[in-house]
Amino acid sequence: MAEKIIYELGSPGRQSVDLPPLDVPSEDAGAMIPAGTRRVKPPMLPEIDELELIRHFVRLSVLNHHVEKGFYPLGSCTMKANPPVNEVLAALPGFALAHPWWPARLAQGSLRLMAELEAMLAEICGLSATTLQPAAGAHGELTGLMVVRAYHESHGNPRKRVIVPDSAHGTNPASASLVGYEIVEIKSDGDGLVDLAALERALDEDTAVFMLTNPNTLGLFERRICQIQQMVHAKGALLYMDGANMNALLGIVRPGDTGFDLVHLNLHKTFSTPHGGGGPGAGPLVVAEKLAPFLPVPRIVQAEDGSLRWDYDRPQSIGKVMTWWGNFGVLVRAYAYIRSRGARGLAQVSEAAILNANYLLALVQDRFDLPYPGPCMHEFVLSGDRQKKRGVRTLDMAKRLLDKGMHAPTIYFPLIVSEAMMIEPTETESRESVEEFARALLEVADEAEENPEFVHAAPHSTPVGRLDETRAARQPDLAFKRPKT
């Protein structure tokens, strides 16, 4: 049934608020507005009482799937529960109303929060310095590559090439190319990991950096990371980690200890900011000591009297990468999240993320192709090749899951798995909800065998069926249409 629009509700004369009577004659008030811009007819507003109005918007709010409504295993995107207490803290007036133009002496609390968050993220990564400016993961990558370039330039040669594995997130080569580097893609080996021989062939004195995701987008840990770092560093190149999915490593492995020189994190994935629909997010960049001089300005520094201030005097800095200081509300949430978990709690986050993913994999793996066998880290990637032979594609199964009240996994990524389904249950799901999702996925596998046509026509229960997703994203029509009068 089509949703009613707001004008189809209520009845003439009904309203949600009682405004006090005008305290000036309405003709006088009208006369103050220039004639050409004055309304001749009253605006056509919906005439609806408050309860009906609230119900209308609550109904609309649950038409879309979201993590507070149901399971959301969108691999790599980490759609996990975000503790509401973070929202309360980010809304504290001292934070929410702080103006970026305030002088540092009036913003000591906010500066301290940022300085402590920088230090905590550096500790988590096993590196030395953090910038909180980048507004997203891809922006962190861009910042990182600018830092890489500045570092090599300071040694007399910016170098030419960036190496990325074929399983990398598309933002990696895109960021490298924005900074003016050529991209060299290397194939993964039969286990889905970096092919060391291919890496050896690609590496030379013109390699600026190797961008690696660990665990990679197949959800697999790069076991030979120590060898990789030796090979990369032997050529004077740097080793970058795409740490968007840090919830597999928190408190267990520090990227810096395994030889990474710089890492970006996605606070809106791992560190508990609600995300989707384009932001806001934060993609801090964490770097080794030797890269710190190149980080964006301003940096937070402590003055002799112990107070904090902004320091712009960094001659080697790449400059600013964001207006003001970053997406501050996201930083408050990350700070609250880390402090409320504590060191042990963060390790438990990763342990639970890995356990949930492996449990789910064990429940479903017999019914799907699994090109790169587990154990996995925080996510795993199935292939729908078996079902495709029955005429059911991964897209069909993803749509069918919506009928069962679940969000679909990430599909058709990473590109090296055909008919890919990239599944990340996250640490915040209970055993029961993981099992419920497994049942739903197995039902879809049954249906793909018994009734492929039905799966192919899914979804059957959502307000809209299959959309032109590219057009919906690129040319959204969100205009409020009201009936003709």
Ligand X SMILES: *Cc1c(COP(=O)(O)O)cnc(C)c1O
Q: Does 281 bind ligand X (CB under 6 A)?
A: yes
Closest separation in Å from C-beta 239 to ligand X:
16
DSSP label of 314: -
The interface region with ligand X, picked from 50-58, 239-247, 305-313, 317-325 by CB under 6 A, is: 239-247
Q: Are 409 and 423 in contact (CB under 8 A)?
A: yes
Q: Tell me which residue of 391, 390, 420 sits closest to 408, measured CA to CA.
A: 420
Q: Does 134 bind ligand X (CB under 6 A)?
A: no
- Using CB under 6 A as the binding rule, the residues of this chain from 455 to 484 that contact ligand X are none
Determine if 214 is a binding residue for ligand X (CB under 6 A): no
- 216 counts as binding ligand X under rule CB under 6 A: no
Among 110, 188, 207, 266, binds ligand X (CB under 6 A): 266
**Least distance (Å) between residue 283 CB and ligand X:** 6
Q: What is the CA radius of gyration of the chain?
A: 26
* CB of 173 vs ligand X, minimal distance in Å: 11
Binding mask 170-209 for ligand X (x = CB under 6 A): -x--------------------------------------
* Contact pick of 6, 56, 65, 76 for ligand X (by CB under 6 A): 76
Which stretches within 179-302 are classed as H helix?
A: 196-202, 225-234
Per CB under 6 A, the segment of 131-139, 230-238, 377-385, 473-481 that binds ligand X is: 131-139
Start-end of H helices in 7-162: 26-31, 50-61, 84-90, 93-96, 108-125, 137-154
CA distance between the termini of the chain: 25
CB of 350 to ligand X, least distance (A): 16
- Binding status of residue 350 toward ligand X by CB under 6 A: no
Choice between 184 and 244, CB closer to ligand X: 244
H-helix or E-strand containing 213? Answer: strand 207-213
Q: In what order do the strands lie in the sheet with 420-423?
A: 380-383, 420-423, 410-411
Is 285 near ligand X (CB under 6 A)? no
Print burial letters for 383-411: b (CB count within 10 Å at least 16), e (below 16): bbbbbbeeebbbbbbbbbbbbbebbbbbb
Torsion sign across C-alpha atoms 132, 331, 335, 429:
negative
**x/- track of binding to ligand X for residues 141-170 (CB under 6 A):** ----------------------------x-
Q: Which residues bind ligand X (CB under 6 A)?
A: 76, 136-138, 169, 171, 213, 217, 242, 244-245, 266, 281, 283
